[in-house]
Amino acid sequence: MPVMRGEGFRLVLLYLCACLSYASLEDTAHGDVKKLAEAWEGYSCDRLKDVPESQRCQFVTEECRSDSRVPYTEWYYCSVAPYGVFATGGFMMLLACVLPLLFCLLGNTAELYFSPTMSLVSQTIPKMRPRFAGVTFVAMGNGAPDLSANISAIRSGQVALSAGAFTGAAMFVQCVVASEVIRISKGVTCKGAVLRDVGTYAVSITGVGLCLYSGVITHWFVVCAVLVYVVYASWVFAGDEWHAAGRPNLQPDRAAWEDLRAMLLQRGYKR
């Protein structure tokens, strides 16, 4: 019995020592975390060069977490940058080789899966005009990759990158894609429609420029942007219906005038 009591006393003493040690370690860890938080207060994930080189890996791991399936930033600052210039150069070359592949995968996903679905939906809807389908369903299919990429950029804190991607994609479509389409088609066949599209685009890009200049995006701006698109789509729909119904020909019909002149001459009327 005395032996059992002695062993029980030792176990209790051991348990108390373990609790005290754990509390001490927890306080120390909490203090270290608090010190790190205070030291990292002036740093941000957008300016990692301001973080001391010895702390970048830990800072990126704890403060710059993203929803990306591939942690490129952690790989670079924890497994590449500490090993010198050659490792950094090799990593950059690898990313440069992978980037075109990612663009191809993104474009093929929209081209092979999303855009055909939107085209089929637009064709199955009764009385859906091709031009109206192009500015609604097909446009949504083509813009889906841009939307997903910009949402990911905004969630990761890259707001400036997202804004540049929006304006850059729009400029590329208007300056390169539209020019190439006009060149292949050997001229603009629908001048009124092109002027309408360019005018609406000018209004939209002016609003975006004013918003970026002010530095604030409000709910009113979002509502106005949606209204501009709704008005534009309605304008396209009304124009297509007008053309389909047969717009009145305001130009004089020369053949009709010649027939009328011949009839009047037969009846004895002269100019």
Q: pLDDT exceeding 70 applies to what percent of the chain?
A: 69
Dihedral sign from CA coordinates of 205, 206, 208, 212 = positive
Residues 6+ apart with CB under 8 A from 198: 174
Q: Are 51 and 43 in contact (CB under 8 A)?
A: yes
Q: Are 123 and 133 in contact (CB under 8 A)?
A: yes
pLDDT tens, residue by residue, 144-191: 777 777 777 777 667 777 777 777 877 888 788 878 877 877 766 667
Q: Which two tokens stand for residue 192?
A: 């009124």
pLDDT tens, residue by residue, 27-51: 444 444 455 555 566 677 777 777 7
Q: pTM higher than 0.85 for the full model?
A: no
pLDDT (0 to 100) of residue 267? 61
pLDDT (0 to 100) of residue 93? 92
pLDDT tens, residue by residue, 54-84: 777 888 887 777 767 777 888 888 888 888 8
pLDDT for residue 214 is more than 70: yes
